[in-house]
Every structure is written in structure tokens, then in C-alpha cells.
Structure 1
Amino acid sequence: MTALHLFHPENKITGLKKNITFLLLLYASFAFSQEKRPYHISGILAVGPSLGKLKNTGTDKFRLGQSYGLDLLAQIGYLWKEKLDLSIGAGIECFGQKFYLENFNYDMSYFGGYFRSDLQLIFPLEKNKLSHLSIGVGGGMNNASYLELEHHEQDIDIYAHANKGLRYFVAPHVGFQQEIKGNHFTVAATFKRHIATAPLLEALLSGTNAQAQYSFHGSYLGIYLKYDWHFRKKNKITNPKPLIAISPTILDRPTITKNHLKVSAQLIKIKVWDHSAIDGDTVSIRLNNDLILVRYLLKRKKKVIHLHIEEGVHLLTLMAHNQGTSGENTCAVIIKHGKRKDQFIFQTNQKRHESMKIEYRGD
């Protein structure tokens, strides 16, 4: 087996690397300067079989064997309202192709650096689930250099070259995103193609009774894996407020208690959001005789509350200030304690509250 390798000379991409480094540092400094940090560092791996073309003109036929396209990159991203993710970064792309002729086989590979940006749209698949539909597209550029190689073995001759030029590429994907401990993992199908007049790679293969032309435009169909590590602020314990902030008319409504949760830690995190139609529901939440959320307009984005509870049984109550256009106020609540997450649905209206018991025992 013989391998042909086409690599970019280092001096051809030094300038591009400097520009990308400066851009990433500038973006990172902006991200850390914000009080709220919906920013993340992403790692992306995409891999699949490459889609080259081989045209034979001789009596004996060259054949295409195993092939691959691979992208590996790091990015800094911004997540807007948990629906739209924009990230920029740099990485490497690799392509490989094996050729066969009777008992001989040859490997040709290509390696280059590039700049890439990705736009990702996230859609909830089902109510009360952490899985989402992910639809996105990546795009960027690669400043390819002209490189040529030739190889001769017995009666086999190979002439290969990479075409010079500033090449653009596009890489859409469709798949699923899963939340994992506050971070996000995406698995998707992807297709990548370079946009240029000339192929990225070309080769002329010839033997005694065989001749073929190979061309490759930088296309492959494969799997896309992305992991987002989110920047986090130090968790701040919510300061409770006295009940005088709420009208006695609201406080005196009857309360229905439906659930009893035993938690494993004193520090708990509560996430509150509108999991159904966004229709203007406004609620307050109390823990025992203290308010932990006052007149909050429910949104699709989760509102996070950090609490430190004492040993014993506590009553978490959701109170409605209005009634949305689609009927009773419905609110999804996730309570995270230790390594566990428990999810509940509260239903309230202007006649009654709904509550649940939260119990912590130190032993």
C-alpha cells in the first residue's frame, strides 16, 4: 500500500491563523465581560464517506475504495433565548481516498486548515422534554495552495494535485440536541461541499491497460457531533421577599397540594417556564411564607431560582395574577437536587393556587 499526502505549507496559512486567533480572543473577552453569559465553547466533529468521482477510459478499471471526510474544530458561541445558536471558530479538514487496480491499492489524503461559522436553530420536540430538534448550517473558507505529487510503482503512474484558490464551503445539518448537566450535545446528519469552479483534488491514474481521472469537490455525507460547554456565573441564592408584596385577595385563595418531593440536598435549583402556549401568564411563587418570585411573566426560556432550604417540610406554592388567553395558567417546574432532576406541571387560576411539598432530611 502506498500513501500520497497533500498538506498545506505552514507559511500559507500563518496569516489566516493569526487573524482567527485575534478574532477568537476579542470575542472571548466580550463574552466574559457580560453579566449574563449565554456563551459557550464548542467542539465539533463531523465525519463520513467522501464523494469523489472516478472516470475510467482504459480496458482495465481502477476502482474507488474506502474514503472519508473529516472536520474537527473549536468554536466560541452565543445562545440567544435557547432558540438560536451562533458560533465562530477554526479547525482542520481531512479527506482520504483509496484506489484499487487488481492487486495494487493506493491511498491519497488531504489536510488543511479553515475558518468556519455555524448557525443552529433549536425547536422543542415535545412538552416537558429536554430533547430538541436541531437544524443548522455551517459555512466558511479555506485558502488552498497548489500542491502536486506523483508516484510510480511498477507499471502504475499517479499524478495528483490540489488546486489553488480561496474556497468557500457549506455544511447543513439536521438532528437532535440533548441537554446534559446544563450543557448541550447535538447529534445530526450533515452534508459538506466546497463551492468552487475547480475541484479541490484531481488525479490522473494510469497503468498498462488502465487509465482514469479522479476529481473531488470536497463533498461528504456523514454524522455531525457537537458539544457546547456553557459559561456559568456563580450561583446566587435567591433572597426571599415578604408576602406584603402580594395583595391579600390573591394570598387568601384556597390552595390545592398535589405532590410531595423528598430532596437529597439543601441547595436546590428550580427552573420555571411556560411549556405550552405563550399567552401572557403572570405568576408569583412562594416558599412557605416568603416570596421567591414576584409577578413574573412566564416565557419559553427557563427562569432559574437557587435556594438553600433548612431541614423539614416546605410548601412551594404557585399563584396566578391573571389568566392567559388559552385557559388556566400552566407552568412547568424542574427541581434539581444533587444529581437528580424532578419535573412537575402546575395549574392555577384566579380562584385557587397549586402547591407541592418539598422535604429535606439531613440524615
Structure 2
Amino acid sequence: MAKARVFNIVKRFSGYPVEQDFELVEQQLKPLQDGEVLGKTLYLSVDPYMRIYVRNLPLGSPMIGGAVARIVESKNPQFKVGDIVYGRIGWRTAFVSDGKDLTKATHLPADVPESLAIGTLGMPGRTAYFGLLDVCKPLNPGAVVLVNGAAGAVGNVVGQIAKIKGCVAIGYAGSDEKVEYLKSIGFDHAFNYKKVDIHESLSKAAPDGVDAFFDNVGGDFADTVILRHMKQFGRVAICGSISQYNLKPESEAEGGKGLFDAVTKGPRLQGAILGHQLKVEGFIVLRFADRNDEANSALAQWVKEGKLKWREHVTEGFENMPKAFIAMLKGANIGKAIVKNTE
């Protein structure tokens, strides 16, 4: 009988997660029934959204997350042994599934690693695609596109798509190494936000203002951009607010439900939104799930053409899932943060 190692969430996060919030257990997997498959996890994703959504999990539940796997046994005619699949599999080394939560990674070009199905050619890539091309539209050639968290899994793709569409791409990241990476993949301007004044640097890079702001960070950065740097009829796509996720409110330590309980009151943005007639829209990529094939096809084609480059921050060993997750939340990664299952 097959076994799996699984990380369960056993304590509510208070501030940044710690390794003791997770428990590694071994499980016996049930024998396959008709219509089911047995999969072995190859690569697992760690993403900022997990920090939020884990609040809805009962303690003792497997940690959530996307993964790439290989089918090793099948009683489902839709899948054969050896198929590479991806889905919201969670933090586990193996699993039994009826296949409804799995998608074959048939869109991957032949010469790229399978892990890209949870990275540039997966959910992060689709987030960049739909957030920029749908939420931030119209996106005309020459438009100024600003993205923060620009060296992360989503942000670097946003900037590259902006360049593919003939736009000016401006990125902010948290280290000089990340800035050099952004320049190497075609960003017109890149800054280490820890070393520059956001207002002064953006005034020089985009003196006439920003057409489209793809916000992964929130907080003071977003306040500055929206209040002082958006053009008339500018668009703001709110993809994330990672600057707020790991604050430590008292209510959260006590199991409170408010996601932003610790957020301090900042500048009032309504006046700037009204005065510049901005479109400000939050989005979750699942909204566009019926168009996944469209995004997958476009992203894969750009990769094949060399227009879209990718980079991964790989941690080896399933036992290091918590470490990789915490490091990602603290900005240790350039490109997509993944864990390779070496079992």
C-alpha cells in the first residue's frame, strides 16, 4: 500500500509563520478505486496567497498549495501512467485523486522543466497575463507599466508581458541582485525600494505619470503611487498586499478573522482616485479560469520565441517546505519559489 508524507497545519500563524506551525506526518493511502489515480509529487509551489487562505483551514488539515506530479498508477481512462499533471494538490509527496482537480501539463514546450507548470507557465504566469491584459486594459504601446514585487513569480512576468506589448516597464524589488535580474530580462527601469525614495525615483523614471500599476505589495508603496503618480484614467490592478500579510495583530494571535486587523490607517486614497478618474480593481486569477487555455497557450508561445524568460528559486527536499514558504514570504526568492521532492 502506498504511503505519503504530508505537512499539516497545526497552529494559527501569528506574524510570520514558523516551522512549529506545521507537522510532518506519514499517511497510508487507500487502494485505488475505479476512476482514481495515484500521483507522485515532483515539484511543490510556495506562494503568498497561502498565507491568507490557510486561515480557512481547520487545524490538522494538510497545508494548501499547487504542485506538479507524475501519475504512477491509474484506474482513470483520462490519465495514463507517466502523465505529468498539476493542480491544487497540497503539501504531500503522493496522493490519490479522482482526477477532477488535476490538469495535464500538455501546454509545456518540450525543452522546459516540468516545474514551469506551477510557475511562469502556471498560476503565477496566468495571474500576470490576466491582471495586466484584462484588468489594466487598455494597454497601448508606449504606456507606462509599474509593478512592485517585480522579481517575484508574478511581477517578473508582468514586466516582460508589458515589454512584449510595447510598453515601458518599471519594476521595484528588494535587493540589488533582484534589480540586476530585472534589467537582464528587459525592464526599462528597475529600483531597489530599500535604497531609493519611491516618489523621487518614480518622478524621474515616469515624469508624466503611470498608466498601469500592478500592485503586489500594498502599504506605503501603493499609497505613494496612487496619490502622486497615476495619470488621468490610469488603471490599478490589485493582485496582492504582501506588505500587510505578516503583521501581527492581537486578534490574529487569538484566532481573529480580520485579515488586515493590524493595518494602520494611511492616506485616504478616494480623492486621488476621483481626481484622476482611476480604475482600481482587485482581482483573483480564479475569476478567469475558463480562459486558462488562452493564457497557457500565449505564455508558452512567448517562452518558445524567447520573449518570455523564466527563473526559479529551487529548494530541494520535501522536508524543507516550511523553510521555503517562510523564506518566500521574507523575499528570499528571485523568480518562482518551488520545492523539489527528492524522494
Give the TM-score, by structure 1 length: 0.21
Decide which structure has the larger Cα Rg and report it.
1
